[in-house]
Amino acid sequence: MDFQSCVNINKEWDIVGARQIGRDFARKIGFGTVDQARIATAISELARNIYLYAGTGKICFETIEEIDRKGLVILAVDDGPGIAEISKVMEDGYSTSGGLGAGLPGVKRLMDEFDIISEQEKGTEIKAVKWVR
């Protein structure tokens, strides 16, 4: 997939930039206020994960259009340490950052589709999709 727009995440401030671009995409696609806020929160979580655990990475956005629906794809890519036990980080109540923040289960709840590919020492790629209702 050729992404329309990417934001590099190097410092905490970049999280805000990613939210802003994601929200603009969401608004243009036609998401309502609540879904815009949910998408922004999901982007925050993904960007913060990159910032905290990988150091650097990027968040990319892409509009998808099918015959009967429209949606937004968010892709979070880093080449950090990777996730050893994905099923563990997807458990509710499990968080390495001290229980604050929604974590990846939160992102999954905020979005409609969610997928992780991660390899230790190589990096992580998370893809999340939300459809306009």
Partner 1 sequence: MSTLNMDLSNYRDLLKQYIRTQDETALYQAEQFSKLSMQQNISPEEIINVHIQALQELYPELPEGIKSSMNFLLEAMISYGLAYQEFQSLREQQLALKSEISVAASMQQTLLTTVKPEVEGLDIGAISIPANQMNGDYHHFVQNDDNKLGIAIADVIGKGIPAALAMSMIKYSMDSIPENRMDPSNILESLNRVVERNVDPSMFITMFYGLYDPSNEKFYYSSAGHEPGFYYNAAEDKFEEIEARGVVLGVTRDTEYRQYERKVNAGDMIIMLTDGVTECRQGDRFIEPEEVLDVIKSYMHLPAQKLVEQVYKHFERLQDFHLRDDFTLIILRKEV
Site residues for partner 1 per CB under 8 A: 32-34, 37-38, 40-41, 92-93, 101-102, 105-106, 109-110, 133
CB of 55 to partner 1, least distance (A): 24
Question: Which C-beta is closer to partner 1: that of 3 or that of 94?
Answer: 94
**In angstroms, rounded to a whole number, what is the distance separating the alpha carbons of residues 115 and 102?**
16
Task: Spell out where 1-122 has E strands.
Answer: 5-9, 57-65, 70-78, 113-119
CA angle 103, 130, 74 (to 5 degrees): 65
Question: Which C-beta is closer to partner 1: that of 108 or that of 127?
Answer: 108
| Beta bridge partner(s), residue 42 | none
What stretch of H or E contains 108? helix 103-110
CB of 49 to partner 1, least distance (A): 15
Question: Which C-beta is closer to partner 1: that of 82 or that of 101?
Answer: 101
Are 19 and 27 spatial neighbours (Cβ–Cβ below 8 Å)? Answer: no
CB of 34 to partner 1, least distance (A): 5
Question: Which C-beta is closer to partner 1: that of 40 or that of 89?
Answer: 40
CB of 59 to partner 1, least distance (A): 18
Angle, helices 103-110/33-49, rounded to nearest 10 degrees: 150
